[in-house]
Amino acid sequence: MRVNLLYILFFYLFCFAPFLLAEDKLYTRTLEVHKTTYQTFIKEIRCMTCPNQTIADSQAPVALAMREEILRRMEAGESVEAIRAYLVAHYGERVLYKPALENKTLPLWWGPIGMLGVGFLIWFAIMRKR
Amino acid sequence: MKQEKHIVQACPDFVLKKLGKEENFVTLSDLKGHPFVLHVWASWCGACLQEHNEWIKIKQRFPVTIVAVLYRDEGSVALEMLKEKGDPYSCVLEDKAGRLGLDLGLMGTPETFLIDKEGDIRYHRVGVLTASIFEKEVAPLL
């Protein structure tokens, strides 16, 4: 009886071990994918408490909460786009450290260059008067 | 700091545990029906401790339900603090992971929201609130 049970046990191990190993590999791979995606993504998100930092660098409680929530959503299978959309819906475009180049964000991208241009024109006008 | 006043936006739904009460949860639906103040604070936050006496004054002067949300904090420390300094809150809910904070677009603590009887946010203040600011800006909306 005991020998039969051992045979059955070995049979099941023989049959299912490859699947178990494959499952384990998949799990590890998923974690690795998350790790890279997660580390890249948190560098895109602005800390709302310390706006000159990304949440990757900030230790503010809101930044910690954001990091945990991002990881939780990634582990639940949510895409980066969906998580980004969630954060923008609650915090607006300013939550993105580099806002997307869209019509409404054009002043953010070209504003500094425009101001530099205006400054240059003023300087040029003053120099010509002299 | 950025102030957003007189805004109308639905308050995010939540299910939060009452501080110090196991298995006792409160949802937004439980609180709908009359306006209430939602105050997000933490015992580790210096500005919140500085503001605490103002909330005691507000509670004494205005007949308003003040629901506190304890943000990413140790419940036992907050309970001890409330015992020592007084508890102006109708109930204190724990947002351990800070998920309601994210849904509210929280920038830091303290932050205060006025939720109307329909469950819409009517007022939002980032930073310390005093009894006189409450009288000027929040009381007229009650």
pLDDT tens readout for residues B29-56: 999 999 999 999 999 999 999 999 999 9
Which residues, in sequence order, are CB contacts of B125 under 8 Å at separation 6+? B3, B4, B5, B111, B112, B113, B133, B137
β-bridge mates for residue B121, sequence order: B9, B115
d(CA B45, CA B41): 7
**Phi and psi at residue B98, to the nearest 5°:** 80, 20
Confidence of residue B2 (pLDDT cuts 50, 70, 90): very low
The answer to whether the Cβ–Cβ distance between B108 and A60 falls below 8 Å is: yes
Task: Please spell the DSSP secondary structure of B110-125, one letter per residue.
Answer: SEEEEE-TTSEEEEEE
A41-79 pLDDT, tens per residue? Answer: 999 999 999 999 999 999 999 999 999 999 999 989 999
Residue A5 pLDDT exceeds 70:
no
Pairwise CA distance, residues A15 & B130, whole Å:
69
Model pLDDT for residues B102-112, shown as the tens digit of each residue: 999 999 999 99
Strand B91-95 relative to strand B120-126, pairing: unpaired
Beta strands B36-41 and B65-71, pairing class: parallel
Q: What is the pLDDT of residue A100?
A: 64
In whole angstroms, what is the distance from residue B23 CA to residue B17 CA? 7
| Type and span of the H or E element at B69 | strand B65-71
Task: Give the ipTM.
Answer: 0.88
Beta strands B91-95; B65-71: pairing state = parallel
The chain B residue lying nearest A92, using CA atoms, is B105
The residues on B that touch A, with CB distances below 8 Å, are 42, 71-72, 97-99, 101-109
Closest-CA distance of chain A to residue B95, Å: 10
DSSP-assigned states of every residue in A81-125: HHHHHHHHHHH-GGGBSS----GGGHHHHHHHHHHHHHHHHHHHH
Asked if residue B141 lies in contact with residue B114, where contact means CB atoms within 8 angstroms, the answer is yes
- Taking an 8 Å cut-off on Cβ atoms, the answer to whether B72 and A65 are in contact is yes
Q: Among partner residues A48, A64, A69, which is closest to B107 by beta-carbon distance?
A: A48
- pLDDT of B83 strictly over 80: yes
Kindly list the distances between the CA atom of residue B139 and the CA atoms of B46, B67, B135, in Å, as whole numbers in the listed order: 25, 16, 5
Sequence-distant (≥ 6) Cβ neighbours of residue B135 within 8 angstroms: B61, B62
Confidence band, pLDDT 50/70/90 cuts, at residue A2: low
Question: Minimal CA–CA distance to B85: which of B55, B109, B105, B63?
Answer: B55
Average pLDDT, chain B: 93
Residue that has been written with the tokens 């947002």 in this structure: B95
A19: distance to nearest CA of chain B, Å?
35
- Which residues have CB under 8 Å from B84's CB, separation 6+? none
H-state helical runs in A42-79: 61-75
